[in-house]
Amino acid sequence: MKVLHINCNYAGRSLHQTMIDTLQTLGIKCDVFVPIHAHQEIVVSPRKNVHMPVCFPRWTRYLFTYKQKKIYEALIKNFNPKDYTLVHAYTLFTDGNCAYRIYKEYKIPFLVTIRNTDVNYFFKFRPDLKKRGIQILRSAKAICFLSPAYKKQVFRKYIPKTLWKELLKKTYVVPNAIDNFWHQNSYINRNFTDTTNKLNTKKLNILYVGGIDRNKNLLTTCAALDALKEKGWDVHYTVVGKSFCQHIADAVKKRPYAKLHAPMPKEELLGVYRKNDLFVMPSFKETFGLVYVEAMSQGLPVIYTKGQGFDRQFRDGTIGYHVNANDYKGLATRIVSCVQNYERMSRTCTNAASGFRWEKICSNYIRIYQSM
């Protein structure tokens, strides 16, 4: 089996490169087409089977038809679709539209994944493209979501009920996996006696890892921690990540209990996870949120947003709690709930994180490929 992967997000993070490497280890031949603009940041290592042609100027990203024309021309120039068993498109509108054209012209079946930009930009703000999105979904041999929450949201908000039966029978939920580093260094020897004694004296260390921007909602976390401080909690808030919004970073810095750190390598980040008690990230929008699973691997219960990517991966209250993004009082309450059930929840987190391995996730994709 030979698969052509169309992935406009491949260059910016190592996540998808690890997935492709794992698929090839499991016997799937893969070529990857990555359409980029001239100023796009590339963080992945070079691979012979990965082609990243500059297809369009950055300013054309809002001109869907023109941008798609340029992407498809570059794809056909670099690949012969007839060489492939199937196509795997990593977004519905940008990548899926190319896969849809290949299907129409060459009859090559394709799988499409629905992600954050599909839900919160294209479906939401581009009603002129909704019909195209529905056409792509109906033509796809398989549809994947990273989480049950996004599946539920898309079907309820954007898919006509008359199509539910047709589309649901070829729909799958396949999450992402975390780097094997976190599995190899899973924190299974946490000293719960020391942790419990500390928490019983209302001392609590909260962690956030990721970009500092509006979407990650750090100010709601700060409001919740302010409320806990007023109730006698001795809280410490550690933030690790690059700042993309200075006024939010400044607002966090003003809290005497908060400390900001620049991004750090995973080897150093490991120790930071282990010094903290809870991971809190009530993002407004989130496709999945691998950082939740990284935190879980280190025994940290997690608090995530209701209705977003990580919600419904687990039953609420097992590895943490979901919260409404704007409800700082509810967030404060859930932080206390985690403390009250800490040892049980922490042990469950460590065990549950082991399921997010690339070998398992890629085996699921292979079964879907075979069904196509």
Task: Render pLDDT for 236-265 as a digit per residue (tens, 0 to 9).
Answer: 999 999 999 999 999 999 999 999 999 999
Are 202 and 348 within one domain? yes
Q: Which residues pair with 208 in a beta bridge?
A: 239
Say how many CA atoms lie within 13 Å of 103 toward its Cβ: 22
Are 130 and 186 within one domain? no
User: Is residue 125 within 8 Å of residue 154, measured between CB atoms?
Assistant: no
Q: What is the pLDDT of residue 275?
A: 96
Q: Which domain holds residue 366?
A: 2-177+357-371
State the CATH number of the domain containing residue 99: 3.40.50.2000
Q: What is the pLDDT of residue 10?
A: 93
| Cα–Cα distance measured from residue 200 to residue 51, given in angstroms and rounded to the nearest whole number | 55
Are 113 and 215 within one domain? no
What pTM, to 2 d.p., does this model score? 0.89
Are 8 and 110 within one domain? yes
**Band of residue 60 on the pLDDT scale cut at 50, 70, 90:** confident
Rounded to 5 degrees, φ, ψ at 357 are -110, 145
| In the predicted structure, residue 309 carries a pLDDT above the cut 90 | no
Are 187 and 271 within one domain? yes
**Band of residue 13 on the pLDDT scale cut at 50, 70, 90:** confident
The residue-averaged pLDDT of 135-139 equals 98
Closest CA to 198 of 233, 166, 163, 150: 233
The residue-averaged pLDDT of 34-57 equals 88
Q: What is the pLDDT of residue 180?
A: 93
Are 104 and 159 within one domain? yes
Q: Which residues contact 32 (CB under 8 A, 6 or more apart)?
A: 4, 5, 7, 10, 16, 20, 47, 49, 50, 51
Closest CA to 310 of 212, 176, 183: 176
User: Is residue 122 within 8 Å of residue 133, measured between CB atoms?
Assistant: yes
Q: What is the pLDDT of residue 241?
A: 96
The residue-averaged pLDDT of 207-226 equals 97
User: Total structural domains in the chain?
Assistant: 2
CA angle 29, 33, 39 (to 5 degrees): 145
Q: What is the pLDDT of residue 45?
A: 86
- Beta strands of 170-327 (E only): which ranges? 171-173, 203-209, 234-240, 258-261, 278-280, 302-305, 320-323
Are 161 and 39 within one domain? yes
Are 125 and 27 within one domain? yes
Are 26 and 164 within one domain? yes
The residue-averaged pLDDT of 181-205 equals 92
Are 194 and 222 within one domain? yes
